[in-house]
Amino acid sequence: MTTVHARLGLRRMRPRDPQEEHRAASPLELFFDLVFVVAVSQAAVELHHAESAGHIASGVGAYPWCSSRSGGHG
């Protein structure tokens, strides 16, 4: 870690133990979930507009992008 990080009081993020008892979601995990939900909803809006315009193939193209970013989260 650089001295700039140390001066700002920043620490390297470490993964949490999934076996930890009474494990609650961190604010970062909740934020990730929110961002993912917004991305999927935007893809749904694009699909709806593309379907309405008769361009279904271009609308479906947004969904593989969302699913490839999920990383099995859930």
Chain centroid to Cα 40, Å, comes to 9
8-67 pLDDT, tens digit each: 887 777 777 778 787 788 888 899 999 989 988 888 888 888 888 887 776 677 666 656
pLDDT score, position 15? 76
Cβ atoms of 26 and 18 within 8 Å: the answer is no
Cβ atoms of 4 and 26 within 8 Å: the answer is no
Read off the pTM: 0.54
